[in-house]
Structure 1
């Protein structure tokens, strides 16, 4: 397995800097092989290739860990049911993927690389198909929007209720969302911002910087109570370890607060002995849209502490500076389970702080918006 993983990661370096070309070649080849597959994808393909490649990269990164490899790919197979992907489509996608890799890598591609990717894709598709076949849930849930609250021009908090079928998730997980009325076949993942409940109600925190992001923009500016959306199967492993006796550190930036809030709510349902320290950062006080809800939780639960920080608001009555730097001032955190959620830059900086503090990697889980 070590040599296998080495070949995959080594060969990926040949194409990693050419993701756009790789994506273009992959889809062009895919649709030539089976033109009907085009109907599974949105009319505008911008960004779709990045999501496919991100899934491939993640699979390559975990392929050396059989347990994680299996769990991740089975959940990915369950998730792909929302695209109405059938077993025969996997073989076609494999042919297109190998063709794209060979083309972009050029003469640096070797027979060893080719065989490693063939074997990897066979394992990937086998586990994804098994995960899809074992799932008795619908491919997606219809959900009715219940509430919609705007915070400034670019942020909204909304709740929805899954209809017809119960939807089971764990605090800290995320789901894919589609707006069939506004943007059919366009899916994007959002963390669920509340703990599981008997009412089948999910909360989402949505932000679209400077008007970017079609789906997020529609969720903020066009969706209203009574509208129907679609929600796919939950994914993600940034969940609480109920067997742990360690105290908990949570670090959130922007709408990265969503899974952190869900974790705090779940801990509130059973906790008696563990402390939870939440650090919540943004540029300015106006961006700390979820601070009031956090403080309500803190008032009800003495084991919860909340520290807010602003990096570009000198008048803020709280901690000043980037939230990773604030976290470093409050350490050490070596005896804690650590959860980090936010932008790629913020997550990367926080993980560096925790590593320098000596926190074991196995005690850290994170959720990031974008690639690390």
Structure 2
């Protein structure tokens, strides 16, 4: 269906093809995910509204104009109608027209209200390999880029893969020098992640899009906090921890950091330094496939279950989509209210 959708757009409007990457595999795969994310948020009006407005701001990086929303809406309905076949009905058609109209209006409102650049040029200041497939980068945007700890943004590497954007969390709280850290794992044939880990060097230029995400701290809460991170999902957790060091005095904070083996606990030493400096912080590293490594073994969710109880805590979950889903199921079984769980569902490539 996604392939048909994009084919209809490009056949009917050839001029928009240059807005997309040469290879569309990931773009097609993400279409249904974006639709599902929007639909899943519809029962939470505030989250639904903010998600769509942020999406509209983010899409400015593609040079999207209002007319493009009409093109996309028509192609989406045609694709759904075609693949639903005889199951499609007038009621479905009208419901999706109404839904898409709301989605488009909120995205356009978010885009028009944004006075920031469509993207920021940034220079890579440092690049450090932490393992065969993990790197830590520090970049400095040429203009001020404001974001909140825990948010993510899209990154493009124009030198190697122009028009290909992938999302990465910022791994530090905002700094006065405007620098930003990113923790990146090269994932399989991931174009952008592979370039960021293996090819990008200090001095190279990146482009950064508008920050997104709702996994931010609520300073009004007095509940203790549990962070659950898998692999480079540590990135936003690290930013949130840095934020907490500036004001927290009363909330106990527990970090469960899971990885496949001890080498993948790539930033454990830094976490342990923080724990030594701040008595309210405890770190529990976990390896799922490294017997005898000296710490907790098994999945990070199983380890979490052995601690607790957790019903009165605020939770922040970050990692691969599968890890996030597994953790959410575990937290449900542990009777943690959904309203106390924050996460952003996206994958990095």
TM-score category (smaller protein) = over 0.9
2:226 and 2:254 in contact (8 A); partners too: yes
Q: Please point out which of 173, 177, 181 is paired with 2:159.
A: 181
Q: Please point out which of 105, 112, 117 is paired with 2:84.
A: 105
1:148 and 1:157 in contact (8 A); partners too: yes
Cα displacement (A) at 1:369: 4.7
Q: Distance in 2 between matches of 1:106 and 1:295?
A: 57
Q: Distance in 2 between matches of 1:367 and 1:92?
A: 28
Cα displacement (A) at 1:350: 1.6
Could you say which residue in structure 2 is the equivalent of 1:121? 100
Q: Distance in 2 between matches of 1:191 and 1:207?
A: 12
Q: Distance in 2 between matches of 1:65 and 1:356?
A: 22
1:48-67 correspondence to structure 2 within 5 Å: 48-67=27-46
- Paired residues, what number? 348
2:131 and 2:266 in contact (8 A); partners too: no
Cα displacement (A) at 1:368: 4.1
Aligned: 1:207 with 2:173 = no
Could you say which residue in structure 2 is the equivalent of 1:305? 282
Could you say which residue in structure 2 is the equivalent of 1:18? none
1:342 and 1:367 in contact (8 A); partners too: no
Q: Distance in 2 between matches of 1:55 and 1:187?
A: 15
Q: Secondary structure at the match of 2:25?
A: coil
Q: Distance in 1 between matches of 2:62 and 2:217?
A: 30
Cα displacement (A) at 1:66: 2.3
Aligned: 1:149 with 2:128 = yes
Q: Distance in 2 between matches of 1:370 and 1:201?
A: 23
Q: Secondary structure at the match of 1:50?
A: helix
1:65-116 CA-partner distances (Å, limit 9, x unpaired): 3222211111100000000001111101110000000011111011111100
Q: Distance in 2 between matches of 1:32 and 1:58?
A: 27
Cα displacement (A) at 1:317: 1.1
Relative to the length of structure 1, the TM-score reads 0.91
Q: Secondary structure at the match of 2:128?
A: strand
Cα displacement (A) at 1:50: 2.2
Q: Please point out which of 198, 206, 218 is paired with 1:229.
A: 206
Q: Distance in 2 between matches of 1:144 and 1:83?
A: 21
Could you say which residue in structure 2 is the equivalent of 1:34? 13
Out of 338-347 and 179-188, give the one that drifted further: 338-347
Q: Please point out which of 41, 45, 48 is paired with 2:24.
A: 45
Aligned: 1:367 with 2:347 = no
Q: Please point out which of 318, 322, 327 is paired with 1:341.
A: 318
Q: Please point out which of 89, 101, 114 is paired with 2:68.
A: 89
Cα displacement (A) at 1:39: 0.8
Q: Distance in 1 between matches of 2:130 and 2:46?
A: 41
Q: Secondary structure at the match of 1:331?
A: coil
Could you say which residue in structure 1 is the equivalent of 2:241? 264
1:174-228 CA-partner distances (Å, limit 9, x unpaired): 000001111000000001111111111111111124x420110000111000110
Q: Secondary structure at the match of 1:138?
A: coil
Q: Distance in 2 between matches of 1:84 and 1:52?
A: 18
Q: Superposition RMSD on alpha carbons, in Å? A: 1.2
Q: Secondary structure at the match of 2:310?
A: coil
Relative to the length of structure 2, the TM-score reads 0.97
Cα displacement (A) at 1:272: 1.1
1:175 and 1:235 in contact (8 A); partners too: yes
Structure 1 unaligned segments of length 5 or more: list them: 1-21
Q: Distance in 2 between matches of 1:234 and 1:344?
A: 20
Q: Distance in 1 between matches of 2:6 and 2:335?
A: 44
Q: Distance in 2 between matches of 1:370 and 1:228?
A: 23
1:186 and 1:215 in contact (8 A); partners too: yes
Bigger relative contact order (CA 8 A; separation at least 6) = 2
Aligned: 1:80 with 2:59 = yes
Cα displacement (A) at 1:296: 1.4
Cα displacement (A) at 1:346: 1.8
